[in-house]
Amino acid sequence: MEPTITIHNNPLYAGWLSDLKDKVRTARIKAAISVNRELLSFYWEMGAEIVQRQLQSNWGDGFLNQLSKDLMGEFPEMKGFSLRNLKYIKQWYQFYSEVNEISQQAVDQIGQQAVAQLQESDTLITRIPWGHNIAIISKCKNREEALYYVCSTITNNWSRSVLVHQIESGLYHREGKAITNFTEALPKPQSDLAQQTLKDPYVFDFLALSTNYNERELENTLVEHITHFLLELGAGFAYLGRQVPLQVGEREFFIDLLFYHARLHCYVVIELKTTDFEPEHAGKLNFYIKAVDEQLRQMGDEPTIGILLCKSKDKLVAEYALSDIHKPIGVSEYQLTQSLPENLKSSLPSIEEIEAELSGERDE
């Protein structure tokens, strides 16, 4: 085994450190114009060089620690050169470039690969803050899952706390998984967009309910925590009301929860069931959708969609029940878990703030 070289006075290291310092200065100037993108582009390039240097040179385990001390000494006002952050930079680069263990013959190719790979992902991973990037690579198992959360963060403008909550709730594995008849009941691309809007299961981890809760208690608690309920439903849902009355013939019926979806441009009827799915549940929801289409839907609105949330379901029974129904319906399970963490609560608007802007039911 070759002896470890003391790198502090090593000419090769000193030359590279000087070049790196020049790049830091250049990146800082550019950052005045585009802070996040330029900084993360610099992090990506530095991550590639760290991997390359560690494979190419026998600078020992203290290499990153020494690099951190030198960069922090030169740029004391910058927070990005701590040993911990340098390790994150290296991990971030390896995660997206899929460079972990690599043969010595391929070392020289890392620089060229880094440029190409960043160009492929530049419109994504450099468009979200560094803290978001760290959260994603720390909690996601693969690049596909990570890029899903990157895109979702960009689309929904998630805070870091909300992002972490969505990852920990397994949104990637739940979105678009509900059993529906959307393909048959809706035209494309409406059917595809509607399918991706639904999840299975929905995770209501902000509720405190007794073991033997009923549907009205569940409904009341969801409305009481409408901010968190909307967060779990996803982007685009606007709350219109609960127990919304519909007059059909001589009888009056009541919809559990009514929403309007801004992206789908349609009403969304949600029915809650604290029992397992039964075929007659789909028939009742189909009736409500028909009534909303007839009484509330206006010119420009797309067909109303129904979501049936039940405690559990038999997949085949649900598919059979929806097969001959022509109104678009999705069937999903829901789960009740623990309360939201305090840091997430503080990152969201208060219940009072959002209810004040909804349907005037704040004082009910």
DSSP states of 304-326: PEEEEEESB--HHHHHHHHHT--
- pTM, full prediction: 0.70
Give the domain-ending residue among 93, 127, 161: 127
Does 157 reside within a domain?
Answer: no
Structure tokens at 99: 């460079």
Cα gap 336→320, rounded to integer Å:
27
With CA atoms as reference, report the closest residue to 359 among 263, 255, 205. Answer: 255
pLDDT for res 347: 54
Mean pLDDT of 334-352: 59
Question: Residue 290 sits in which domain range?
Answer: 172-355
Is residue 213 left, alpha or beta, with left meaning phi > 0 and alpha meaning psi from -120 to 50?
A: beta
With CA atoms as reference, report the closest residue to 51 among 36, 66, 63. Answer: 63
pLDDT for res 97: 83
Per-residue pLDDT tens digits for 22-52: 888 777 655 543 667 888 888 999 999 998 8
Map tokens 């560690």 to a residue.
54
User: What is the number of structural domains in the chain?
Assistant: 2
List Cβ neighbours of 145 (8 Å cut-off, separation of 6 or more): 172
Per-residue pLDDT tens digits for 125-177: 888 889 999 999 999 999 899 999 999 988 887 888 889 989 998 999 999 89
Strands 305-310, 237-248: pairing is unpaired
List Cβ neighbours of 204 (8 Å cut-off, separation of 6 or more): 222, 228, 229, 232, 334, 335, 336, 337
Q: Is the same domain home to 313 and 207? A: yes
How many CB atoms neighbour CB 275 within 10 A?
Answer: 10
Cis peptide before 201 (omega within 30 of 0): yes
Q: Is the same domain home to 227 and 92? A: no
Cα gap 89→50, rounded to integer Å:
9
Q: Is the same domain home to 277 and 177? A: yes
* Stronger pLDDT, 196 or 117, i.e. the higher one: 196
Q: Is the same domain home to 98 and 183? A: no
Does 43 reside within a domain?
Answer: yes
Does 96 reside within a domain?
Answer: yes
Cα gap 252→160, rounded to integer Å:
45
Does 290 reside within a domain?
Answer: yes
Per-residue pLDDT tens digits for 60-89: 778 899 999 999 999 888 888 999 999 999
- Angle, CA 163 vertex, CA 157 and CA 165 arms, to 5°: 140
Per-residue pLDDT tens digits for 277-314: 999 999 999 999 999 999 999 999 999 999 999 999 99
Residue 330 has pLDDT above 80, yes or no: yes
Domain of 236, CATH number, reads 3.40.1350.10
Per-residue pLDDT tens digits for 218-269: 888 888 888 888 888 988 899 999 999 999 999 999 999 999 999 899 999 9
Q: Is the same domain home to 109 and 224? A: no
How many CB atoms neighbour CB 259 within 10 A?
Answer: 21
Does 155 reside within a domain?
Answer: no
Q: Is the same domain home to 219 and 326? A: yes
On the CB side of 173, CA atoms within 13 Å amount to 9
* Stronger pLDDT, 364 or 251, i.e. the higher one: 251
Q: Is the same domain home to 187 and 310? A: yes
* Stronger pLDDT, 19 or 113, i.e. the higher one: 19
The H-assigned helical ranges of the chain are 11-31, 35-56, 63-74, 83-97, 110-125, 130-139, 143-156, 160-168, 171-174, 182-185, 190-197, 215-224, 226-233, 279-295, 315-323, 342-345, 351-355
Mean pLDDT of 107-126: 53
Residue 359 has pLDDT above 60, yes or no: no
